[in-house]
Structure 1
Amino acid sequence: MELWLILFIPPLLFMLYAQWRVSSTFGKYSKIPNDRNMTGLNAARWLLDQNNLQNVQVELSKGKLSDHYDPRVRVLRLSPDVANKASVAALGIVAHEVGHAVQHATAYAPLQVRNALAPVAGLGSNLGGILVFVGIILYAMGTGFGLDIAWIGVALFGAAVVFTMITLPVEFDASARARSMLRNTGLASVTESSGASAVLSAAALTYVAALLAAVGQLLYYVLILTGGRRD
């Protein structure tokens, strides 16, 4: 029980805090209109054109804060609260996603690594934990290869952790590009840039929380297996 408390409770609490920060900060600045009265949809198209990315399309997505750039089809998708509102929060989120599009266009190395790891990371995230516990059960039943299966699960989940780790510089760089774009293009005033930056900083906490949770879970798996072998 102490192991669960150490490895899972602090990351969980931090994740809840990060989600609260994102929700409250976005809620605050989504109520503040930007001076240009430019919706997120229009801002996205304008910023993409400013970066010579006319080949990137802008579409609507479903769900709250589901905004993302899809490098597979070169499409920037915006949630309704961002696409249809002329808010300060919309400028920050849109600029961040355009930052990802710029990363893709300039072959930003961490993004390329993350994209290459995505299929294995998805498999590891969904299957890794299952293999760990299946392997432990088989080992407890006297099956010799049970631990081998469990360690394969650890390796797969480790790939997901590496993916989450590489996500940090990718997201931080996209936010840095967003702040620079808002400032250098004059799309946002100094006050608006400050508000948009607050939204980006709050969003960054969720990626840090995700990494802490993933590392804690990986350590838990490793400690279970190494402890079992000592026994």
Structure 2
Amino acid sequence: MFFFNPMYFLFALPALLLGLYAQYKVQNAFARYSRVRTVRGLTGAQVARYLLDAHGLHHVRVERVGGMLTDHYDPTSKVLRLSPQVYDAPTIAAAGVAAHEMGHALQDATNYAPLALRSAMVPSVQIGSWLGPILFVVGLLMARPTLAWLGVILFAAVAVFALVTLPVEFDASNRAKKLLQQTGLLLPQEMEGVNAVLNAAALTYVAAAVQAISNLLYYVFLLQSTDRD
């Protein structure tokens, strides 16, 4: 059957290996610099609050959220949520992650186009991520290529979302690095750790984009193979 096609590994294996490497890098970097306290001793929550206030974003709340590395900015409710390992910790890793999430809040405040586009795509991605593969499989099994192609089109939203995410995350990290240096919250020698953490995190988004594109290309390959048969 099609889902046991050995060609799947040709498409999926590079993305899988890159994803595993990216996860290793981010976990290793975060763990390493979570053991290094900043000279100023500010927690991630304090770093985020200071940077938000310095840019007039007093209305953006900073909250603790459960989980490991669940840090994110919610543009709908204007809340910056930090995991306990970031919210409570006065470490280089926590400062870097908190500043990165604050970068998303600054993007929102300045109407950064890629962030607005990514937010607008969320509903279509939620639908496409689960309905697309279902329609694709049903269409392929029932020899209904039109239905299968519809599934591919829906799933393509996931790949586009992953691509749009790249400039959003890269820009947030660049803003974070500049803000931490300009405000003097971290010393120059501490920025090496921030760069290591944020660069490793950026690689995970690259891996996610590669994986989404690989899956999409595999779906197209299967359909074209079926058409030739």
* Band the TM-score falls in, shorter-chain normalisation: over 0.9
* CA-to-aligned-CA distance 1:78-102 (integer Å, 9 cap, x gap): 0010111100001100010000000
- In structure 2, the partner of 1:181 is 179
User: In angstroms, what is the RMSD of aligned CA positions?
Assistant: 0.9
* CA-to-aligned-CA distance 1:161-193 (integer Å, 9 cap, x gap): 101000000000000000000010101101111
Give 1:197 shift: 1.2
1:198 aligns with 2:196: yes
1:1-231 superposed matches below 5 A? 1-139=5-143, 146-231=144-229
* CA-to-aligned-CA distance 1:174-221 (integer Å, 9 cap, x gap): 000000000101011011112111100000010000011000000000
TM-score, normalising length: structure 1: 0.95
* Separation (CA, whole Å) in 1 of partners of 2:92 and 2:49: 16
* Separation (CA, whole Å) in 1 of partners of 2:148 and 2:189: 53
SS, match of residue 66 in structure 2: coil
Give 1:5 shift: 1.9
TM-score, normalising length: structure 2: 0.96
Give 1:2 shift: 4.4
- Which runs of at least 4 in structure 1 moved beyond 2 Å after TM superposition? none
Q: Which amino acid in the other structure matches residue 223 of structure 1? A: F
SS, match of residue 9 in structure 1: helix
- In structure 2, the partner of 1:142 is none
* Unaligned 5+ runs, structure 1: 140-145
Give 1:64 shift: 0.3
Give 1:222 shift: 0.5
Give 1:152 shift: 1.0
* CA-to-aligned-CA distance 1:144-175 (integer Å, 9 cap, x gap): xx222111110111011101000000000000
Q: Which amino acid in the other structure matches residue 209 of structure 2? A: L
* Unaligned 5+ runs, structure 2: none
- In the alignment of these two chains, the number of paired residues is 225
SS, match of residue 188 in structure 1: coil
Q: Which amino acid in the other structure matches residue 218 of structure 1? A: L
Q: Which amino acid in the other structure matches residue 209 of structure 1? A: A
